[in-house]
Amino acid sequence: MQIPNLSWMQTSSGYEDMGDGVGIPTMITWSHDGCEVAVEGSWDNWKTRIALQRSGKDFTIMKVLPSGVYQYRFLVDGLWKYAPDLPSTQDDDGNVYNILDLQEYVPDDLESISSFEPPQSPETSYNNLQLTAEDFAKEPPLVPPHLQMTLLNVPASYMEIPPPLSRPQHVVLNHLYMQKGKSGPSVVALGSTHRFLAKYVTVVLYKSMQR
């Protein structure tokens, strides 16, 4: 279980290599039987053993770790065990460890987000009349305000390593934005944000305007 990144700085654990990156709170759980459960991991090179706290039938501990891939295993009543329901790996000597792949962000769970489903077409017929000159004289409808929240307007960063873009709101996906004249008199920039599986890509294409 992961809690989304809150930019926490490291708190209680005092090991050397926490200097690189914000700590991400993560929960380690043992849901099989036992009286006393502790965990050791590669986050501090297997130096310390931490006892898990019992809550009902499960044993849990909260750790704050920088993003990375860690191996760990449980000491249950004096025996080394790994959790069979969690990802695990085996080393050359035949020892099995659980694996924790801690990402900096929580990826979208594709099966659970209903906004990925395109809405049904509205129940209407295609018998509207064509637009006349009167219609064009009226003010166009206002752009829905949430469309302003496009990533395209994030100012270009001049840092060597630009900060990562935030995740776009689903409402701005698949809309085409246009910017004229900023990069040159006859250059237009077209931008759009799409989803690819669980990741988001914003593409900007610069074209020249031809007469």
Partner 1 sequence: MYNSGLNTGHENSGVVGSILVPVRFIWPNGGRRVSLSGSFTRWSEPMPMSPSEGCPAVFQIICRLPPGHHQYKFYVDGEWRHDENQPHVSGNYGVVNCVYIAVPQPDMVPNTISPETSGNMEVDDVVMRPVLMFVLRETAWCRMINVKTTFREDYLDRTFEGFAQYSEADLQLSRDRISSFLSTHTVYELLPDSGKVTALDVNLAVKQAFHVLYEQGLPMVPLWDDFKGRFVGVLSALDFILILREPVNIQLGTNGSNLTEEELETHTISAWKVGKLQLNLKRQMDGNGRPCPRPLVQAGPYDSLKEVALKILQNKVATVPIIHSTGPAGSCQEILYLASLSDILKCICRHFKHSSSSLPILQQPVSSIQLGTWVPRIGEANGRPFAMLRPTASLGSALALLVQADVSSIPIVDDNDSLLDIYSRSDITALAKDKAYAQIHLDEMNIHQALQLGQDANPSLGFNGQRCQMCLRSDPLHKVMERLANPGVRRLVIVEAGSKRVEGIISLSDVFRFLLGV
Which of 79, 82, 108 lies closest to 29 in space, CA to CA? 82
81 class by beta-carbon count within 10 Å (0-12 exposed, 13-18 middle, 19+ buried): middle
Q: Quick one: which of 27, 110, 149, 165 contacts partner 1 (CB under 8 A)?
A: 165
Q: Quick one: which of 161, 163, 176, 211 contacts partner 1 (CB under 8 A)?
A: 161
Give the pairing of strands 68-76 and 176-180: unpaired
Q: Does 205 bind partner 1 (CB under 8 A)?
A: yes
Query: What are the structure tokens assigned to 93, written together?
Result: 């000597």
Window 2-21: contact mask with partner 1 (x via CB under 8 A)? ---------------x----
Q: Identify the H or E element spanning 96.
A: strand 96-102
Task: Determine contact, residues 204/190, Cβ cutoff 8 Å.
Answer: yes
> Cα 25 to the chain's mean position, in Å?
14
Task: Determine contact, residues 74/82, Cβ cutoff 8 Å.
Answer: yes
Largest CA distance in the chain: 84
Per CB under 8 A, contacts with partner 1 among 57-96 are: 67-71, 91
Of the listed pieces 49-57, 73-81, 129-137, 162-170, which binds partner 1 according to CB under 8 A?
Answer: 162-170
Q: Does 206 bind partner 1 (CB under 8 A)?
A: yes
# chain residues binding partner 1, by CB under 8 A: 45
Window 112-141: contact mask with partner 1 (x via CB under 8 A)? ------------------------------
Q: Identify the H or E element spanning 37.
A: strand 37-41
Q: Quick one: which of 79, 158, 163, 211 contacts partner 1 (CB under 8 A)?
A: 158
Of the listed pieces 76-84, 117-125, 171-179, 200-208, which binds partner 1 according to CB under 8 A?
Answer: 200-208
Which residues form the interface with partner 1 (CB under 8 A)? Answer: 17, 41-43, 45, 67-71, 91, 104-105, 107, 151, 156-162, 164-168, 183-184, 186-187, 194, 196-197, 199-208, 210
